[in-house]
Structure 1
Amino acid sequence: MKHFTKDLLVNSDIDGGNVRVAAASFSMRGFINFQLKDYRTKNDVFNAIDKIQYIVGSTNTADAIRLMRVDMFTADNGDRPDVKNIAIIITDGVSNVNAETTIPEAEKARDVGIHIYAIGIGLSNLTELHGIASVPAKDNSLDVQSFDELKGPMKTLSSKSTAQLSTTISFLESTTNALLSNTTFFEESTADAGIPTYVIIIVTALVLMLIAALVVIIVVCYKRKRANHSSSCNIPQNQITEQRELIVQTTRQ
């Protein structure tokens, strides 16, 4: 996935100052990895992309789009007002957190002048994808079944985007990557992430619960053993006296 992102940026004029790149990740919510103002060379941008940690979880596309609009495409964070802003959203799934606000958030972004390209990977339902894309959706959305199918279309899209603007592209993705020019890219990763974080958490929790249960069992067994030992040693005094009298009487007889 990161290789794919860098392939999209490889011909962009980052070093010349014509392209700026920002990145964010999202699952349950959006997380900014770096802003448009943070890096001015392609090498620095690529190094920053390599350091992005994969996030496993739900897909909150709405929060990613909101974050792009209110926090990433801002003058304080490196956006240039004289340059057209373009967002490329690449997703391999539909929103499952705040899904009802995804398209409205995209509309808000488009209303402030952000042009949105929406790309779906292996989607069975294209309603959200088309609702996110700028109008007309047929010219601003793309549906493919795998990342391999993106290579040709994305080169064309990259050239088209760079020709349209002098400096601004924002890439949002819910599992994938981004591109160039005042560029923001969001990723929430469910692929190429190794063992998912939630699996590690669940396994760790189960191991801790098992250890705790074993400790409880050991403590209970120890206490029962102590109690049995005490009861066998502490015979009531009257029983001891009666036993002695019985022995004496038996001896006398």
Structure 2
Amino acid sequence: MKCGGSTLAALPNRFFDELRELQQSGIRPVIVHGGGPAISETLGKLGIETGFVNGLRKTNDDVLDVVEMVLAGRINKEIVRKIQTNGAKSLGLSGVDGMLIQARPVANAAEIGFVGDVTDVNAAIIEGIMDMGFIPVIAPIGIDDQGQRYNINADTAAGAVASRLGVERMIVVTDVPGILKTVDGQKQVLPVVTVEEIDAMIASGEIYGGMIPKVRAAIACIQGRVREVVIVSGEEPGVLTKAVRKGGVGTRIVQSNEGRV
């Protein structure tokens, strides 16, 4: 499951009750979270300037310190506390711990700084945590063999973790019910959409504004063994059970029409 830090922290208790119930039934959830708004807020309070290049935050040493502090310190532990308050066991860590998320500089590192691409994920750590009965909550900070840290886009990290674990479906929890399309003058949630169809909807203006980065982020998660991404609203009652077991919720994003089955 991938979720923005602010989105996950704001979800109602019933979401976390359902998370606990799914775990107790044998489902093994893994959460990778972001926290961009909280990072920006903290940078502003500290007077540290930053910017973005193609949606990725420019990350120098000072920015990287704040990114790690906010993601691995504040947001990660807020999520862990909320899970535990609702009766499940959770363990928070970042990609630095045990070299969980190994990374290298992105191609345009000279322009953007310490932003990384994932080269490997130590799945044994995640599996070990799950075997002990805990829900892993992962902050997307990467590290290389020389000990250099990297700011990893949360969607990129989530896709890499899901692929390395052999997961075919990933759930992206947002504040919208899915991808909407106007049909006979009414907005309806599309049950399934291909990557090509999303590109066409962006070009036509049917997907616009804040939904564009959401769907592009979901597409970025489709890599390796991950065949589909389901965008759901975390506020919908029973959303996790529906997404995991029953279907019929949110929008499934698949690579091609072959994935509609």
Q: Same fold (TM over 0.5)?
A: no
Q: Normalising by structure 1, what TM-score?
A: 0.32
Greater RCO (Cα-Cα under 8 Å, separation 6 or more): 1
Which is greater in Rg? Answer: 1
Bigger share in strand: 2
Q: Is the helix fraction higher in 1 or 2?
A: 1
